[in-house]
Each structure stands twice: as C-alpha cells, then as structure tokens.
Chains A and B, each alone.
Chain A
Amino acid sequence: MDLQTTTYLVVGASFALYIGIAIWARAGSTSEFYVAGGGVHPVMNGMATAADWMSAASFISMAGLISNMGYGGGLFLMGWTGGYVLLAMLLAPYLRKFGKFTVPQFIGDRFYSKSASTVAVLCLLTASLTYIIGQMTGVGVAFSRFLGVSSDTGIYIGQAIVFMYAVFGGMKGITYTQVAQYIVLISAYIIPAIFISLQLTGNPIPQLGLGSNIVGQDISLLAKLDQVVTDLGFGKYTTSTAGSTLNMFVYTMSLMIGTAGLPHVIMRFFTVPKVSDARSSAGWALIFIALLYTTAPAVAAMAKTNLIRTITPGVVMNNADPFAPESQIKADERPDWMKRWEKTGLLKFEDKNGDGRIQYYNDKTKNPEVLKKAEAAGWKGNELTVNADIIVLANPEIALLPNWVIALVAAGGLAAALSTAAGLLMAISSAVSHDLVKGVFAPDISEKNELLAGKIAMAVAIVISGWLGLNPPGFAAGTVALAFGIAASSLFPAIMMGIFSKKMNKEGAIAGMLAGLFVTLFYVFAHKGIFFIKGTDFLPMIGGANSFFGITPEAFGAIGACVNFAVAFVVDKMTKEPPEHIQAMVENVRIPRGSKAVDGAH
C-alpha cells in the first residue's frame, strides 16, 4: 500500500474513534458540560490533561527546537513540566475545594468583585485565543502535508471536526476523546523513537539510548554528536545555552508559572471527585506528559545525528572527515524524503558552489579552523536549511521507517493539535457563557440557555481562530510565548495570592493583574508589533531589542509576574482589608474537609 492510502486509513480510523466517543459521551447537564459531572478518575483525568496540555507545539515543534538548540532546549522540557509541581501544590487542590466551574469565578468570588472576574475573563480570553490560533495553523500544516490538500482546506477540515465534538460533547465528551487522543499521540511519538534508538545505539529505550554508546563504537552518542557538530562549526550540543544563563533562567521560570496559570489546564482539576484526587491528578498528568517529554531529547539528538549521517555518510559511523571531497552526498542522489519536504518549502537546498554536492555546516561560526577547512574544501556557505518544525514529522522518513509509522505520526500530530484546541475552546466557552453572560449580563438565565450561549461562544471562537489561522499576522512561536506570558503575569499571581494571602483585597488583585498584563504586553509588542501587526513594533522606545538585561520577549512573563506581585502588595497595603466573611472563606478553602461536588451557583 502506498504512503498516501495508508495515511488516509490511519488518520480516518483515529477520527472515527474520536467522533464515536464524543457521541457516546454527550453532555446532558451544565455540570456535565463544564466539569464532566465531577466524576472523572484521576488516572483518566491525568491522561486527558496530558492530551489537553501537549499541543502541536509539544508534539511537532519541541524536539526540532531542542535539536537546533542542544542543551539550551532543556528550558522547554523543564519549563513545561516544572509548572505541574506548582499547579499540584499551590493551586489545584484549593481551587477544587472552592468547587466552582471556572477560574474567573474563583477570582470574582475571592476578590468579592465583578470587575476582578471581568479582568480575569479578559486575561483568559487573550491567553486562550492566542494559543488556539497556533493550534489551528498546526492542524492546517499537518493536514496539507499528509492528506495532500492545501493548508487552507486543512484548517476548514480541522474547524469542522473540533466543532463537532466540542459542541456536542462538552467537557465530558472532550475528556474521554482526549484519553483516546493521548493514546494515539503517545504511540505516534514513541514508536519511531524506539526504532531510531535501536538503529543508532542498539538500546530500544530512547531515554537510555541517548546515554549509550553508538552501535559498534566505543564512544557515547552525545560525545560523538558534540564532536561532529563542533567540526561543522555549530555550538557544542551538550553545553550551548539559549542566550545568557540569566535569560535561560527567566525563560524557564516564565514557562513554569505560565503552565500553572493557563486556564484550560487548571480547569481540568475541577473534574475530579475529591480534593486529594486533585493532588494526585497533577502527578498522573505529569507522568503521561513525561513519557513524551523525556523521549523528546532523544528524538532531538538522534534526528540531528541522522541528518548529519544523511548529508555526510560515514562521518558518524566511520569517522570520515566531513571536509574530504567525497564525503558529502551528491545532490541528485539525495533521498526521497528531502524531495518531498522541499515541496512544502520547509526544507531548502541551494548548490552555492556548484559542485553538485550538499554542504551542511554553520557558515557563521567564529571558529577560524572550521572556516579555514571549509574554504580549503571550496565551500561557499551552508547549502541546506531545515525548518525546526519538520524534524518530528520527517523523523521516521529520515530513518527510513515503514509507511504505517509515518502515517501514525501524522495521526499523532493531528491528535495533539485537535485535543488542545478543544480544551482551549472549552475554557473560552465557559468563560463567556458562565462568567460573562450568566455572571454579569443575565444572572437569571436558564440552564438550557446558558448551555446554548456556551456553544455559540465556542462556535464564534472556532470561526475567529480559524480565520486568524488562515491569515496569521506573521507569527507562530510568538503567539504561544505570549499565551504563557499572559497567564504567568496575570492569572497565576492573582490565584496564588487569593489562596495564600488572607489579607489580599480586590484593589490589590485587580491592580496587580492589570499591571502584570500591561508590562508583559508592552515588552512583547515592542518587539513583535502591537497585536503582532507588522510594522507597529516600537523597539527604539525601550532602547533596542532585549533591552531589559538581555531578556527575550518570550521569557518576559516571569518579570511580568514579579511586577504583578509587587503592585498588588503595595496597593493592598494602601487600601482597606477584605471583609471578614472573605477571610473566613479563604480559611475554609485551605482545608479539604467539606468539599462537595462542583456546582456553578453564584
């Protein structure tokens, strides 16, 4: 069977499964729609959270980024997992005890103010919408490559499918669909990694393979990779950091607290039966996430090794000199997968010195020895550019694995993007219908109409995100970073202070959220343009790129969070204490006894 047919079959079968589950688990009540009736087992919930959490960015982009960055890529691994420790200890159990549907509802009640809850809705919508655009773009790319349709058509198909199960299923349907999606995406990630690890190191477990010796040689894979990439003028794989150490530190912190503050992740912990389940649920989620996250560094390093093996055969396995005249492959003998990806424009080859061979090295290196060797060999610059986003999708093709593995990876990428999109839509829908419509505009709305409002909000969000996915204002990774920045700088500090500081009042919380949000948006927009519109950036005003101690805009959320905390404490000290009954409520939230099923009553 050819690759195209296999792909249709595997992707089609996975979709039939998701839709079947969504129909089977239709939501009957508001409680089932928002929090799956509060009856999801912690292990199941952990799996669903993992699918919810691991988006197209985790599945498709992350290993590629690590592959390019080397050691510095560890900031994504630590940042996107370390946040779960904070979530499990600082937020999840207390929010579950509080027993309401949504994050803005907690902020509104705790800070006894409709304005606080409205500000929280604003933060939530900005974070979720920006995040979801990236997912829609990811769906479009994955569909176009594997189903041979245009990227736009890919987005329409994606919209229709997300709409179907999100709208009909609600949280209950989404939760069970996400369990299925997790299983698809994790097998799609791990199976090729096992094959590749076996090929390179003889060890079937990628996590151990990365620390093993190369087949038939007395040198570890990482040491070999270090040596080969330094020969070609790249930074040493195991030590090159992402910018300065300070930037890596702040970046990791932003991703961690951003993770803990993202509403679609927090919401997950409202669906478990008890407070103590909320605690373990985060642990289960992290186990399921770690399966992918500890495999990713192996995928990254092995993909880099395989790429170099493809371009300069013999360098990795037989210690050939990469600069020798015969060691690079001839361009017209390049493998088929390269030709396939060239069509998407994500892989480019240009024969700069006209010798009919492909030269892949870092031509901007400062190492004079490498430059001298390259010049002596008659190289005229790097001839191959590989977009980081294709590493995972092309990985099984690079390693020449069978067609069904390649098809499975396609299904996995789509599962990752669709499950996250559905979770985000759920967060948007509940914020609009429950916190805005029922909470502010029409408090006496009937349960049926509230559900309807939620579904309409979801449909509108799908249309907006699909439209922005079709017309991306020139960003991809930038949006994801912004979503984390917003969550880190606005929601996380407000929730945390709501639990851990009894005396924090509404003035402090609102001022803090707005200050954190504003500072972060200001710094990001200065680099990337106001709402990412090209040409509206204002770098000179803040003194040039990364002017704040060399911190990149993606890493700025942690600084925004510090501003949030500082402003909140100063304003809190200048205004009057929260009322008695609020302080009593905080004391009550802190102990597990008396927790009840989640209900949405205001």
Chain B
Amino acid sequence: MDDSGKAYWSATLGLLTKILIIWFLVSFGAGILFAPMLNNIMLGGYPLGFWFAQQGSIYIFIALIFWYKAAMDKIDRQFDVHEE
C-alpha cells in the first residue's frame, strides 16, 4: 500500500473509532451500565437512563450513521478515492 493509501485507511479507522466510542457510550454506557445513576435525572416524564435504553440510543444511532456517511464521503474526496 502506498503512503496515501495508508493515510486514507488510518483516517477511516480514526473515524470508525470515534463513532464506535459514542455508539458504546449511549447504549452500553448510558442505557445499561450508568442507567441506575442517570435515572435520578428526569427528561420530561422519562427517567434519563430508561430514556436512553428505550428511546435515546436509537435516535443517536441514526445520527451516527448519517454522520459516518458524510464524513466518509469527505475523506474519500480528500484522498481522491471517491466514485465517479
């Protein structure tokens, strides 16, 4: 792999790592591990931990995928490997 190819791949992996960290934090973190703590905070009528487990994590997942798509298209162009 040439240098530009290596840089492209490490930029991709960097983005994936960032997204996976958030993915983990909102579901396994806020929805499961820290849910009992977060339940002391209310979001409208929802205890916050419960909200993350049954509502919030899903909304954030959607945002993550579209962020990934936008960021990835940008990286593709930057390294000139995008589709014509």
Q: Which residues of B contact A221 (CB under 8 A)?
A: 45
- Nearest chain B CB to A90 CB, angstrom units: 7
Interface SS majority for chain A:
helix
Per DSSP, chain B at the interface is helix
Stretch from A393-401, A419-427, A476-484, A590-598 that touches the partner: A590-598
**Min distance, Cβ B6 to any Cβ of chain A, angstroms:** 10
A239 at the interface (CB under 8 A from B): yes
Output the least CB separation between A495 and chain B (Å): 15
Chain B: CB-nearest residue to A297: B54
CA distance A252 to B57 in the complex (A): 12
Contacts known (A78-B31, A78-B57, A286-B61); A280 close to B69, Cβ less than 8 A: yes
Q: Is B3 an interface residue (CB 8 A)?
A: no
**CB pair A286 B27 closer than 8 Å:** no
CB closest residue in chain B, given A221: B45
* Residues from chain A with Cβ under 8 Å of B32 in the complex: 245, 248-249, 252
CA–CA, A294 and B54, complex, Å: 7
Give min CB distance, B60 to chain A, whole Å: 9
- Kindly state whether residue A513 has any CB partner on chain B within 8 Å: no
Q: How large is the interface on A (under 10, 10 to 19, 20 to 34, 35 or more residues)?
A: 35 or more
* A85 CA to B28 CA, complexed, in Å: 14
Q: B16, A90: Cβ atoms under 8 Å?
A: yes
How many Å from the CB of B39 to the closest CB on chain A? 7
- A290 near B: Cβ within 8 Å? yes
Q: Is the CB of A207 within 8 A of B65?
A: no
Q: Are A220 and B44 in contact (CB under 8 A)?
A: yes
Contacts A89-B68, A207-B55, A290-B62 given; does A275 touch B83 at CB 8 Å: yes
| Mask of A209-220 contacts with B, CB within 8 angstroms, 1/0 | 011110000001
Q: Contact residues of A with B, CB < 8 Å?
A: 66, 71, 73-75, 77-78, 81-82, 84-86, 88-90, 93, 207-208, 210-213, 220-223, 238-239, 245, 248-249, 252-253, 274-276, 279-280, 282-283, 286-287, 290, 293-294, 297, 587, 590-593, 595
**Residues in B lying within 8 Å of A, measured CB to CB:** 1, 5, 8-9, 12, 16, 19-20, 23, 27-28, 31-33, 35-36, 39, 43-47, 49-51, 53-55, 57-59, 61-62, 64-66, 68-69, 72-73, 76, 81-84
* 7 extra A-B contacts, CB within 8 A, seeds A249-B32, A276-B83: A71-B54, A89-B20, A93-B72, A212-B44, A220-B44, A276-B73, A297-B55
